[in-house]
Amino acid sequence: MEPVRYPQDIEARRPQIMPVLEPGQIEIMRSFGGPPRRFAPGELVFTAGTPAPMFLVLDGSIDAIRKDGLGNEMLLATFEPGQFSGEVNLLRNLPVIVDAKAGPGGCYVIPFSAESVRAIIIAHLEIGEILMRAFILRRVAMLSADSAGTIVLGRAGDRDVMRLQNLFTSNGYPHTLLDPGVDEGAVGIAARFGVQEHDLPIVIGRDGSILRNPSDAEAARHVGITRAIDTTTVYDVAIVGAGPAGLATAVYAASEGLSVVVLEAVVYGGQAGASARIENYLGFPTGISGHALMSRSFNQATKFGAEIGMQVAVVGLRCDRRNLDEAAELDLSTGETVRCRTVVIASGARYRKPEIPRFKDFEGRGVYYWASPVEAQACADQEVALIGGGNSAGQAVVFLAGKVAKLHLLVRRPLHQTMSRYLIDRVRAQANVAIHEGCEITRLDGQPSTGLAGIAWREGAAEVAKPIRHLFAFIGADPNTGWLRSCRIALDDKGFVVTGQRREARTLETSVPGVFAVGDVRSGSAKRVAAAVGEGAAVVGQLHTLLAMT
Task: Report CA 416 to chain centroid distance, whole Å.
Answer: 32
Verify that 471 and 484 share a domain, yes or no: no
The verdict on residue 355 lying in a domain is no
Q: How far apart are CA 489 and CA 345, in angstroms?
A: 11
Pick from 248, 368, 242, 375: nearest CA to 311: 242
pTM: 0.90
**Phi, psi at 240, each rounded to 5°:** -100, 105
Verify that 331 and 293 share a domain, yes or no: yes
- Of 92, 127, 144, the residue that ends a domain is 144
Verify that 26 and 123 share a domain, yes or no: yes
Verify that 82 and 201 share a domain, yes or no: no
- Of 119, 144, 169, the residue that ends a domain is 144
How many residues in total does the chain contain?
Answer: 550
The verdict on residue 225 lying in a domain is no
Burial environment of residue 104 by CB neighbours within 10 A (0 to 12, 13 to 18, 19 or more):
exposed
Amino acid 147: pLDDT: 62
Q: Contact, 207 vs 69, CB < 8 A?
A: yes
The verdict on residue 94 lying in a domain is yes
Verify that 140 and 12 share a domain, yes or no: yes
Q: Contact, 231 vs 331, CB < 8 A?
A: no
- Of 450, 475, 500, the residue that ends a domain is 475
Verify that 164 and 178 share a domain, yes or no: yes
The verdict on residue 445 lying in a domain is yes
3-state secondary structure of 84: strand
146: DSSP letter: S
Verify that 265 and 322 share a domain, yes or no: yes
pLDDT in tens, the chain (550 residues): 788 889 999 999 999 999 999 999 999 999 999 999 999 999 999 999 899 999 999 999 999 998 887 878 899 999 999 999 999 999 999 999 999 999 999 999 999 999 999 999 999 999 999 999 999 999 999 988 766 678 999 999 899 999 999 999 989 899 989 998 888 788 888 888 888 888 899 999 888 889 999 999 999 999 888 888 999 999 999 999 999 999 999 999 999 999 999 999 988 998 888 888 888 899 999 999 999 999 999 999 999 999 999 999 999 999 888 888 899 999 999 899 999 999 999 999 888 889 899 999 999 999 999 898 899 999 999 999 999 999 999 999 999 999 999 999 999 999 999 999 999 999 999 999 999 999 999 999 999 989 999 999 999 889 999 999 999 999 988 999 999 998 989 999 999 999 999 777 799 999 999 999 999 999 999 988 999 999 999 999 999 999 998 7
Verify that 72 and 21 share a domain, yes or no: yes
Verify that 378 and 436 share a domain, yes or no: yes
Q: Contact, 70 vs 151, CB < 8 A?
A: yes
CATH code at position 186: 3.40.30.10
CATH code at position 51: 2.60.120.10
Amino acid 148: pLDDT: 65
Verify that 344 and 386 share a domain, yes or no: no
Q: How far apart are CA 100 and CA 77, in angstroms?
A: 10
3-state secondary structure of 414: coil
Q: Residue 330 to residues 227, 242, 336, 338, 380: CA-CA distances in angstroms?
A: 17, 16, 8, 5, 43
The verdict on residue 292 lying in a domain is yes
The verdict on residue 274 lying in a domain is yes
Long-range contacts from 13-16, C-beta under 8 angstroms, 24+ separation: 13/137, 16/133, 16/134, 16/137
CB neighbour list of residue 296: distance below 8 Å, 6 or more residues apart:
none
Amino acid 398: pLDDT: 95
Q: Contact, 88 vs 135, CB < 8 A?
A: yes
Burial 63-85 (b: 16+ CB within 10 A, else e): bbbbbbbeeeebebbebebbbbb
CATH code at position 440: 3.50.50.60
Residue numbers of the domain that contains 184: 150-214
The verdict on residue 255 lying in a domain is yes
Q: How far apart are CA 239 and CA 265, in angstroms?
A: 12
Q: How far apart are CA 33 and CA 112, in angstroms?
A: 5
Verify that 198 and 240 share a domain, yes or no: no
Domain count, the chain: 4
Q: How far apart are CA 459 and CA 454, in angstroms?
A: 16
**Phi, psi at 275, each rounded to 5°:** -75, 130
Burial 191-213 (b: 16+ CB within 10 A, else e): eeeebeeeebbbbbbbeeebbeb
The verdict on residue 461 lying in a domain is yes
Q: Residue 109 to residues 18, 142, 517: CA-CA distances in angstroms?
A: 16, 24, 46
Amino acid 146: pLDDT: 64
Verify that 520 and 500 share a domain, yes or no: yes
Q: How far apart are CA 466 and CA 25, in angstroms?
A: 64
Amino acid 5: pLDDT: 87
> DSSP characters for 349-361?
EEEP----TTTGG
Q: What would you report as the CA-atom Rg of the chain, rounded to the nearest whole angstrom?
A: 25
